[in-house]
Amino acid sequence: MARASGILLHPTSLPSPYGIGDLGEDAYRFVDFLAEAEQQLWQVLPLGPTGFGDSPYQCFSAFAGNPLLISPALLAQEGLLPARALEDAPRFPATRVDYGAVIPYKQALLRAAYAHFQQDAPTELRQAFEAFCEQESAWLEDYALFMALKDAHDGDPWNTWADDLVQRAPNALARARHRLREAIQLHKFAQFVFFRQWSALKAYANAKGVRIIGDIPIFVAFDSADAWAHRELFTIDERGELQFVAGVPPDYFSPTGQRWGNPLYRWEVMAAQGYRWWIDRCRMALRLFDLVRIDHFRGFEAYWEVPAHEPTAVNGRWVKGPGLALFQALREALGELPIIAEDLGVITDEVRALRDALGFPGMRVLHFAFVADASSEFLPHNYVRNTVAYAGTHDNDTTVGWFEKLDAETRQRVLDYIGTDGSAIHWDVIRLLMMSVADTVIFTLQDVLGLGSEARMNFPGRAEGNWQWRFTWAQITPEIAARLRKLTRTYGRSVVKQPSAPR
């Protein structure tokens, strides 16, 4: 990876008059800001349709896009909504997402857009929709049916539906497709619009010299089209009940570990199928993104298996994952893989060996550095080039919030290492990482803006109240862009050629 820097911002955090960040004008304006500050990377996290808790790491599909990210303004520009449909938008909060209000509002707009499409769409757009449905049928048919059935069951999980639907009996599925045909078409239409809007935004970013880093969560949600349609690939029994779930073992941070609840993979079945599902998943990710971060990479070497009946992750065990075999199959099918390995947590020599054999860059998070001595791999003087370094990620507190919560002794260690008084700790940390040997450094927008804990995006282990933060354009000043640009040039992370030194 070439020496570069970038910003982490989920699109839901963008400004928008419609209650949640979307793929419209403000997304293009954010790309312009990145280009002005000479940032080459925008990390967006997963873009899938979210369920309970609004987490992009618990999606209804590993392939679909999130309809909440569709821009109503772009729908109106394309003639899929009359302009008057947007005139009476509710007064949403500007600095957070109120999902309870946003979801029904955006769903109503999509229904109106689909009705308008059915009545007045030009032939060219209809043909494009039909072509999309045909090209994406391998995942789209199951997803649209799954979502239509969830709507018909008031959002209940698929394993609570009628037994013939749980078992996917062909006659039951055929009846459901007939009964719910309009709802199914609506969900297909939403995906068509999402991919159309996202593809245009990504093309604009790439033309501006900005590459997109996306995210593949290693596991999928139990209540997803993937688990329902491909039960044989997961640790789910014939009744639709989980047998084993994913998690991590007890450690310094949690005496009971973390019981995530996702179904685990039946890797032997996937291997027998040539890892076809994973190949399809990565092929989709490489269409959406220029680079892909794989979350919980260590799970490919060995994963923590917890019996589903266990209330915590204490009584689990390590089970070997597919290792090199999976990635060899991916490379044979897709070529070289622009992957970042999220190698945080309990990392063994075997995990490091797998990462290094594949040549993937790992991750370093500065916030983790000061709980150990000078040998900590999270301290910048111990970085290697093939690294993606962060101050903190979406799962961490902001740098300002983190620094304020440190005890006096640890705070002094931070100041001794950085060599400042900490009055602008966020810029101190950005500069420290910019000057490091790591090829790639990423900063959350919250850190660039110097915001405190009120702007934190996610609290791991907390089920609700996450993924709500949004910024406003008043917070991004020309001085911020200029300062970021200067640091980027100073430490050789800009694509702009610097004048050579005089001889």
Active-site residue set: 295, 342, 395
CA angle 498, 500, 502 (to 5 degrees): 145
Q: How many CB atoms lie within 10 A of CB 458?
A: 20
Q: How many CB atoms lie within 10 A of CB 58?
A: 22
329-365 core/surface letters (b: 16 or more CB in 10 A; e: else): bbeeeeeebbbbbbbbbebeeebeebbeebebbbbbb
Question: Is the distance from CB of 198 to CB of 23 less than 8 angstroms?
Answer: yes
Interatomic CA distance for residues 9 and 400, integer angstroms: 17
Interatomic CA distance for residues 1 and 165, integer angstroms: 47
What's 233's DSSP letter?
Answer: G
Give me 410's structure tokens. Answer: 């640890």
Starting from the edge strand earliest in sequence, which strands make up the sheet with 317-320, in order?
258-263, 244-248, 302-307, 317-320
Interatomic CA distance for residues 254 and 481, integer angstroms: 39
Strand-pair partners of 247: 259, 304
Q: At CB < 8 A and 24+ separation, what contacts does 423-426 make? A: 424/450, 425/399, 425/400, 426/391, 426/398, 426/399, 426/400, 426/450
Backbone angles phi, psi at 99, to 5 degrees: -60, -35
Question: Is the distance from CB of 31 to CB of 40 less than 8 angstroms?
Answer: no
What sign for the dihedral angle of Cα 11, 77, 35, 64?
positive
What distance lies between CA 25 and its chain's CA centroid? 21
The H-or-E segment that residue 363 falls in is: strand 362-365
Give me 49's structure tokens. Answer: 């349709």
Interatomic CA distance for residues 428 and 418, integer angstroms: 7
CA angle 142, 144, 145 (to 5 degrees): 65
Alpha-carbon distance values, 177 to 143, 193, 240 (Å):
12, 22, 21
CA angle 418, 422, 426 (to 5 degrees): 85
What's 252's DSSP letter?
Answer: S
